[in-house]
Amino acid sequence: MPKMPETIKSMDELLSMLDSLMREPAPFWNQFYGDRTKEIPFFVDKPDENLVSYLESGRFQGGRMLELGCGPGRNAIYAALHGFDVDAVDLSEEAIAWAKERALEHKAEVNFTCGSVFELAPRSGYDLVYDAGCLHHLWPHRRIGYIEMIHHALKDGGYFGLTCFAPGFTEMGGAMDISDWDVYRDRSMHGGQAYSQEKLREMFGGYFELVEIRMMKECTENDPVFGVPFLWTSLWRKHTEGPKVAD
């Protein structure tokens, strides 16, 4: 096959070029989820403690939920069993297969899709979009599209729930509070990019109103929910009058 001309003529081609310089994510995550016996904290079959708190608060009365990077499906399944019509997506075929097995065990109906979160358009009208670990593994050049996709997916006044690495995380190989430029200098996210509270406000503040931000509560193996002390949990509400992005 002849080599395609390496000429960038659009933003999509620019993003694809940057993708090609970095690690291909799908093979990594398939290998990651392929061994279910590994002692990975979020392999447990329990929902995030903050997601449970959101639903138990009475803020939601069911509705439509989209989970980004659903992994083995623990949060999607919990939401489906508590009144939500759930769509869930993950890049890993292994993760989706495991999630479908768990859903069957729990008798939960979830629409699981294997694919990229950037292939979801033009879906919209969700009451809740939830991300329990997708953002901190995204290359920075994909982050703007990620935020815009979430904003589009939510109905006016809808909510976005997020858990992500906080600075200082050293478990499981660590996550570094490194700059976006350093990601490309090193061609590595060093296990995942950590975000300060200020950076989260800067990134999402133009599109969403911050409802709550706190550290995730640490939970034990005897607790019915999942929680580790190195993640931010935050809940955001979509601006009803549109993005407030500065000029």
- Can you tell me which residue has the tokens 């292994």? 94
Written as six digits, the tokens of 39 are 């002692």
Top-confidence residue, 170 or 188: 188
In a domain, 243, yes or no: no
Q: What angle do CA 159, 160, 161 make, to 5 degrees?
A: 120
Confidence (pLDDT) at 247: 44
Q: In this predicted model, what pLDDT tens digit does every residue of 129-147 receive, in sequence order?
A: 999 989 998 999 999 999 9
Written as six digits, the tokens of 84 are 């939500």
pTM, to two decimals? 0.90
In a domain, 6, yes or no: no
Confidence (pLDDT) at 173: 47
Confidence (pLDDT) at 29: 86
* Maximal CA-CA distance, the chain: 59
**3-state class of 201 per DSSP?**
helix
In a domain, 143, yes or no: yes
pLDDT exceeds 90 at position 61: no
Top-confidence residue, 21 or 182: 182
CB 191 within 8 A of CB 130: no
In a domain, 245, yes or no: no
Backbone angles phi, psi at 213, to 5 degrees: -145, 135
Rounded Cα–Cα distance for residues 64 and 40 (Å): 29
User: Residue 109's domain is classified under what CATH number?
Assistant: 3.40.50.150
Q: In terms of residue numbers, what domain contains 129?
A: 11-34+45-238
In a domain, 3, yes or no: no
In a domain, 87, yes or no: yes
CB atoms within 10 A of CB 98: 21
Rounded Cα–Cα distance for residues 99 and 95 (Å): 6
Confidence category of residue 172, pLDDT binned at 50, 70, 90: very low
Rounded Cα–Cα distance for residues 183 and 52 (Å): 33
If one counts the domains in the chain, the total is 1
Rounded Cα–Cα distance for residues 207 and 182 (Å): 26
CB 233 within 8 A of CB 162: yes
In a domain, 223, yes or no: yes
In a domain, 244, yes or no: no
